[in-house]
Amino acid sequence: MEDRTERMAVGQTIWSQIPVMTKMACGMRDAFVGEHGELTVKVGRAMTWIKISLNGLDLYDVEHIRVKRGTYENVILESASNVDCESLSEVVYHMVNK
């Protein structure tokens, strides 16, 4: 995805497919769209993020990431591949609320 408008549209679509109650239950905030259209959102505790990206099968790949203090290295706590939009909210909720 090279066009900025297209990337933003993908990120906004992902954001809109997560119900507001899930966003509140997970403490989702500080969302931004990356250079490949992936949506990254701060959740729960400090230095913890959810990254959602659209894959080639028109499904989502979801990663729960913690950033190490000091080194700022990303550590993937959990991941799920090929998540459809109907299951996205549930997958995100269960990753964050363990």
Q: What is the pLDDT of residues 66-89, one digit of tens each?
A: 998 888 889 999 999 999 999 999
Residue 18 CB contacts under 8 Å (≥ 6 apart), including other chains:
28, 88, 89, 92
For residue 25, give its domain range: 4-96
Report the domain count for the chain. Answer: 1
pLDDT of 1 over the 50 cut: no
Q: Is the pTM of this model over 0.85?
A: yes
Average pLDDT, integer, range 40-44: 93
What's residue 2's pLDDT? 58
Type and span of the H or E element at 29: strand 29-33
23/31 Cα distance (integer angstroms): 11
